[in-house]
């Protein structure tokens, strides 16, 4: 007597690779490489911005120092005007 059609077969791993799986794997690999390239480009842009921000911070520090000296000079001038006037 033949086993019914709905009988379970033992689980097994098949070593064949279908065209659909190969194409899907190739597309996923290509997508991952494109994503990695985009991340690399974005990182390069962020590094460039960070380098530019460092120079801006340095100039800002110099301007603040110059502003402090100017403020001190104005205070001395006002004091001399008040003493003389």
Q: Per-residue DSSP letters for 30-81?
A: HHHHHHHHHHHHHHHHHHHHHHHHHHHHHHHHHHHHHHHHHHHHHHHHHHHH
Q: Is residue 15 part of a domain?
A: no
Asked if residue 1 has pLDDT above 60, the reply is no
Where residue 4 falls among pLDDT bands split at 50, 70, 90? low
Q: How many residues does the chain have?
A: 85
Has residue 67 been placed in a domain? yes
pLDDT band at 3 (very low <50, low <70, confident <90, very high): low
**Mean of pLDDT over the chain:** 89
- Rounded to two decimals, what is the model's pTM? 0.48
Structural domain contains residue 10: no
Q: What range does the domain containing 46 cover?
A: 31-84
Q: What is the pLDDT of residues 26-54, one digit of tens each?
A: 999 999 999 999 999 999 999 999 988 88
Residue 22 in domain: no
């Amino acid at each position: 007597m033949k086993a019914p059609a709905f009988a379970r077969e033992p689980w097994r791993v098949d070593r064949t690779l279908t065209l659909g799986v190969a194409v899907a794997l190739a597309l996923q690999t290509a997508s991952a490489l494109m994503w990695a390239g985009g991340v690399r480009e974005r990182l390069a842009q962020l590094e460039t911005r960070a380098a530019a921000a460092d120079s801006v911070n340095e100039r800002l520090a110099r301007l603040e120092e110059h502003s402090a000296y100017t403020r001190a000079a104005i205070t001395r001038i006002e004091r001399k005007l008040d003493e003389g006037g």
